[in-house]
Structure 1
Amino acid sequence: MSITVYGIPNCDTVRKARKWLEQQQITFHFHDVRAEPVPASTIAVWLEQLGSDTVINKRSTAWRSLNAEQQQLATTEDAVRLLQEHPTLMKRPLLDCQGSFSAGFNDKQWQSLLEQR
């Protein structure tokens, strides 16, 4: 099973999610979105499956630092470019379980998603 966790290593929620996966003895790849940019095609799939309101964390510091024009772009096709330019805008962590996605960490939701695969 191919599992990737997207996030940043110093995020408390990402650390909690990674620890949970390790405790469940689930092998996964961690993708640091700051160190290794996420391809536009991958972000486009996230937005298609989950929607921009789910993928973009509008309570984040990164969101508050954007101007009003940039915030408006987050709800259009420009959201892909915006997430590439500001990777910390994404709701973290984002789980990719063989093409099924979940944004944010919820152990019950993740368990359900992993069991379906």
Structure 2
Amino acid sequence: MTILYGIPNCDTVKKARAWLGEHGVAFDFHDFKKQGVPPEQLARWTQAAGWEKVLNRQGTTWRKLDPAVQAGVHDSASAQALMLANPSVIKRPVVDWGTDITVGFDAQGWATRV
């Protein structure tokens, strides 16, 4: 079963949910805000995609962080700790396709899966 992780009011997550629906992909939605970030899944994502890709340094949440907090993120462990404390800093959506993980919405890349 495909699982889409994200925040429901995120525009990119909305696009991803619509795309999956339009292409007949059955999926469960995991809401970071209501259900939290599963630590074991976050570890899997950072291992599969790299913590640098999972951590969204372009977003508003990152930019609003104290510079000392930003500077404290220097490896997978520190990035994961920050992402668990601030789920909004995770690049969205994260999709668990059952066989692998993708981070971010990529309609062309996803089209090769369905």
- TM norm structure 2: 0.91
Distance 1:86 1:39, change over 3 A: same
Offset of 1:91 from its aligned partner?
0.7
Report the counterpart of residue 51 of structure 2 in structure 1.
Answer: 52
Unaligned runs of at least 5 residues, structure 2 = none
The residue identity in structure 2 corresponding to 1:79 is A
Equivalent residue for 2:7?
8
Where 2:62 maps in the other structure, the secondary structure is: helix
Which structure 1 residue ranges, 4+ long, deviate > 2 Å from structure 2? 72-75
Cα RMSD, aligned residues only: 1.3
Percentage of matched positions with identical amino acids:
35
CA distance in 2 between counterparts of 1:66 and 1:7 reads: 20
* Cross-structure match for 1:17: 16
TM-score, normalising length from structure 1?
A: 0.89
**CA distance in structure 1 between the partners assigned to 2:2 and 2:24 by the alignment:** 12
In the alignment, the residues of structure 2 paired with residue 99 and residue 44 of structure 1 have an alpha-carbon distance, to the nearest angstrom, of: 16
Q: Which runs of 5+ in 1 are unaligned?
A: none
